[in-house]
Amino acid sequence: MSTLQTLDRGVRALVVIGSRPGGTTVAELAGELGIARAIAYRIVSTLVEHSLLTRDAEGRVFLGAGVPALAAGYLPGVLSLATPVLQELADDTGATAHLSVAEGEEAVAALSIDPSGAHVLRVGYRVGSRHPLGRGAAGIAILAGRPATDDEPAAVTAARRDGVSVTRGELQRGAVGVAAPLRLPSGPEASVGLVAFEDLDVEGSVPLLLAATRRIGGEPTGE
How do the pLDDT tens digits run along the chain, 223 residues long? 567 899 999 999 998 998 888 899 999 999 999 999 999 999 999 999 999 999 998 999 999 988 877 777 777 778 888 999 999 999 999 999 999 999 989 998 888 898 987 555 556 677 778 889 998 999 999 999 999 999 999 999 999 999 999 998 887 888 899 999 998 877 789 999 999 987 788 999 999 999 999 999 887 655 5
Is the same domain home to 60 and 108? no
Is the same domain home to 129 and 152? yes
Q: What is the CATH number of the domain that holds 153?
A: 3.30.450.40
Show which of 69, 92, 108 is a domain's final residue: 69
Q: What is the pLDDT of residue 122?
A: 59
Q: What is the CATH number of the domain that holds 14?
A: 1.10.10.10
Is the same domain home to 109 and 57? no
Is the same domain home to 126 and 193? yes
Integer Cα distance of 190 and 183 in angstroms: 7
Is the same domain home to 63 and 100? no
186 within domain boundaries: yes
222 within domain boundaries: no
Q: For residues 119 and 93, is the Cβ–Cβ distance under 8 A?
A: no
Show which of 69, 88, 104 is a domain's final residue: 69
Length of the chain: 223
142 within domain boundaries: yes
Q: What is the pLDDT of residue 174?
A: 82
Is the same domain home to 53 and 121? no
Is the same domain home to 90 and 194? yes
Show which of 69, 99, 118 is a domain's final residue: 69
Q: What is the pTM of this model?
A: 0.72
Range of the domain at 96: 78-217
**For residues 118-149, b (16+ Cβ closer than 10 Å) or e, as one string?**
eeeebbebeeebbbebbbbbbbbbbbbbeeee
Integer Cα distance of 66 and 52 in angstroms: 5
Is the same domain home to 112 and 187? yes
165 within domain boundaries: yes
Is the same domain home to 56 and 88? no
Integer Cα distance of 148 and 67 in angstroms: 38
Is the same domain home to 65 and 82? no
Is the same domain home to 39 and 149? no
Q: For residues 40 and 26, is the Cβ–Cβ distance under 8 A?
A: yes
Nearest to 191 by CA among 223, 158, 216, 222: 216
Query: Domain tally for the chain?
Result: 2
Is the same domain home to 82 and 161? yes
35 within domain boundaries: yes
